[in-house]
Amino acid sequence: MNNIQESNPFLGRYDTPHGTVPFDKIRTEHYEPAIKEGIKLQNEEIDALINNPEEPNFQNTIAAYERSGELLQRVHTVFGNLLSAETNDDLQELAKVIMPMFSEHHNNISLNKALFARIKKVYEHREQEDLTNEQRQLLDDVYIGFVRNGASLDDEKQEKFRELCKELSLLALQFSENNLKETNAYQLVLKKEEQLEGLPESIIEMAAETAHEKGLSEGWVFTLQAPSYIPFMKYSTNRELRRELYMAYNTKCTHDNAYNNKEIVKRIVNAHLELAQLLGYTNFAEYNLQRRMAENSENVYKLLDQLLDAYTPTAQKEYDEVQKLARQLAGDDFELMPWDWSYYSHKLKDSKFQLDDEKLRPYFELNKVKEGVFGLATRLYGITFHPNPDIPVYHKDVEAFDVFDKDGSFLAVLYTDFYPRPGKRSGAWMTSYKEQWKDEQTGENSRPHVSIVMNFTKPTKEKPALLTFDEVTTFLHEFGHSLHGMLANSTYSSLSGTNVYWDFVELPSQFMENYATEKEFLHTFARHYQTNEPIPDESIQSIIDSANFNAAYLCLRQVSFGLLDMAWYTRTTPFEGDVEAYEQQAWKKAQITPHVPGTCMSVQFSHIFAGGYSAGYYSYKWAEVLDADAFSLFKQKGIFDQETATSFRENILSKGGTEPPMALYERFRGQKPTIDALLIRNGIKKEK
């Protein structure tokens, strides 16, 4: 072993429990040489594949290609994940070097004519081999993937394809970096106690700690991170401060500075369009939806329009009801603005259901919630979770668990990362550090390493981490994704776990959210952190009764994001106009609250400009139709019914992308999904 290998943890065997990532040994300087070594090794593997004198077949071409690039994937996965979960200026600068390098290498492979010739030959003679369903799926994915990545283009167009991929890689990186820096740059510093009127004690404590962390000797600091921003907008009685914070949040990346994303939005949209048209598609949505359950933009718009028609009348009534309350409290001429919505809708919800997040918080102490969520997985699937302090982690807040199956066998590693910090982007997500796969020779099942990352309310000196009900729901959502990864049981890693169509990937996560409003589940863990008293039945009933509060308004909000996404990516000509004006026109028919000039969602809409959801944001609502339909079966049979849970595990969670998703869903459900279960769940339609 040479000196580089000895000093670089990526280049040797991981001497850690389950071969987990040795985060404690990885330094910024290790990434670039490891990436270069990974590229070199995969190039050698591809050369060996191409120069194999045997006739191309599934094993010596498709399976060999699937197995290539193990080191590169390992390093790139760690780098990409930490760029979101624990970044810094050095990593972000390095990303500007590494991401184009990785993009170029990917293009060198996908545009390799000799490699594609072998793949094409296997594809054209696929009926001559006795392939399993999973092998057929992998062959189909690999061949079509190469075509969609430009393998059939002539030399000149392939060169253009390379340039566009590299450009998009850098633009997405810059978009995210600008968003993070704008978020971190802002702080609302309050010095007077009267400015805190209406805010719960826990939020005030957190703001005082934030002030201390930022080196202030007095006062309170509120930020644009969700645990600070959301409760301030909900509880603060100071309308002017609500407006100030709202404007700070909703004008991120619009200012005349280095972090303005308006031109970047245009460049991303136009590069996606050019790439799609280069491949022979009319627009990027047509290209992207070819490999989705929805299949085309007509089906996406059909769903969005169905939801608009079904929910708009109720959404308008919900808005009018909040407006009415606001005028009762603030005067007859009061105009409800977006910075008022959370405040007054919360007051209306509280008056209707006597349900207040702050009164519920004491029953949702994070460790108890964790026990409840883990216990739900145990009850449904028989799996158990055991902390393993010997597994290295990338930050002191991260905890690692060994996960065991119902027969006692090792199933997975799960990392949990719950609290916000400056180096972590906003939001919540699940990711993998290692995918599940099986060795075709030995049959050994290599188990996955999965991570869930969130931005929950932090503990303070006086109190542990006490979650809002929405945070409990978010936990269930991301944990659903992790189950999809942990219960994977495929042969090939590229078909394993969450490697499924984008509009299918949200089914397991949104399915788990259903348990948040189930009394039987809440009774298993929701106890007061001080008295250990169980959450009162009347509080649970209020949670259930309020589950559909403003459901139509929230649905239209999601529909508006879907419309905005589709407007950007169904374009057939380059965009050179005004981003804000285009946005307002795109989602106008789904907007209920007044537009505030100067605000702009697109410039901070990371999902569709930097997060893989381009022409795919509709998938949240698509999956919601699936999850409502799926959970309706559990409601019929019992929410912990073992037979139904086993079927869900075997037909959905363990299968990954090994078969078309609709075939998997129909095998579990016994029928195609309809919108009816969602309409019934949201109270839009009555159950027959």
Edge to edge, what strands does the sheet with 399-404 contain? 384-387, 399-404, 410-417, 449-453, 429-434
* Cα–Cα nearest to 421, from 396, 392, 449: 396
192 in the same domain as 136: no
512 in the same domain as 381: yes
Q: Indicate if the pLDDT at residue 6 is higher than 70.
A: no
Between the two ends of the chain, the Cα-to-Cα distance in Å is: 71
Count CB-CB contacts under 10 A for residue 301: 18
pLDDT at 1: 41
529 in the same domain as 390: yes
105 in the same domain as 31: yes
Q: Strand, coil or helix: what is 401?
A: strand
For residue 398, CA distances in Å to 104, 373, 513 come to 33, 17, 23
* Cα–Cα nearest to 84, from 502, 428, 499, 482: 428
Strands 429-434 and 399-404: unpaired
Decide if 504 contacts 661 (C-beta within 8 A). Answer: yes
Is 409 domain-assigned? yes
Is 273 domain-assigned? no
Is 157 domain-assigned? no
What one-character-per-residue DSSP string does 70-129 give?
Answer: HHHHHHHHHHHHHHHHS--HHHHHHHHHHHHHHHHHHHHHHT-HHHHHHHHHHHHTGGGS
Decide if 376 contacts 482 (C-beta within 8 A). Answer: no
Is 32 domain-assigned? yes
Count CB-CB contacts under 10 A for residue 1: 8
For residue 369, CA distances in Å to 471, 486, 643 come to 10, 20, 25
pLDDT at 426: 84
Give the end of a domain, one of 250, 265, 286.
Answer: 250
Interval 561-575 mean pLDDT: 98
Q: Strand, coil or helix: what is 376?
A: helix
Residue 206 CA to residue 461 CA, distance in Å, equals 9
Tokens 């280095």 belong to 258
519 in the same domain as 394: yes
372 in the same domain as 499: yes
Residue 341 CA to residue 64 CA, distance in Å, equals 56
Tokens 């633009």 belong to 171
141 in the same domain as 12: yes
Q: What is the pLDDT of residues 282-322, one digit of tens each?
A: 999 999 999 999 999 999 999 999 999 999 999 999 999 99
Q: Which residues are catalytic?
A: 478
Q: Indicate if the pLDDT at residue 688 is higher than 70.
A: no
Question: What DSSP designation does 127 have?
Answer: G
Q: What is the pLDDT of residues 130-155, one digit of tens each?
A: 999 999 999 999 999 999 999 999 99
Angle at the Cα of 483 from the Cα atoms of 416 and 509, rounded to 5 degrees: 90
For residue 250, CA distances in Å to 83, 151, 417, 589 come to 24, 41, 26, 20
Query: By residue range, what is the domain housing residue 134?
Result: 3-152
pLDDT at 502: 86
Is 283 domain-assigned? no
pTM for the structure as a whole? 0.85
Name the packing angle between helices 619-637 and 551-569 (round to 10°): 140
Give the end of a domain, one of 197, 229, 250.
Answer: 250
Give the end of a domain, one of 505, 520, 547.
Answer: 547
Q: What is the pLDDT of residues 52-94, one digit of tens each?
A: 999 999 999 999 999 999 999 999 999 999 999 999 999 999 9
225 in the same domain as 80: no
Those residues whose C-beta lies under 8 Å from the C-beta of residue 457, and which sit 6 or more positions away, are 202, 206, 227, 361, 465, 466, 467, 468, 471
pLDDT at 610: 94
Q: How far does CA 501 lie from the centroid of its chain?
A: 14
pLDDT at 357: 82
Is 456 domain-assigned? yes
CATH of the domain at 406: 1.10.1370.40
Helix, strand, coil: what percent of the chain each, to 5?
60, 5, 35
Structural domains of the chain, count? 3
Residue 476 CA to residue 369 CA, distance in Å, equals 10
Residue 470, both tokens: 């929405």
Residue 291 CA to residue 273 CA, distance in Å, equals 17
Tokens 């409840």 belong to 372
Interval 421-442 mean pLDDT: 94
Those residues whose C-beta lies under 8 Å from the C-beta of residue 226, and which sit 6 or more positions away, are 420, 426, 427, 455
Strands 449-453 and 410-417: parallel
244 in the same domain as 110: no
Q: Indicate if the pLDDT at residue 624 is higher than 70.
A: yes
Residue 606 CA to residue 325 CA, distance in Å, equals 34
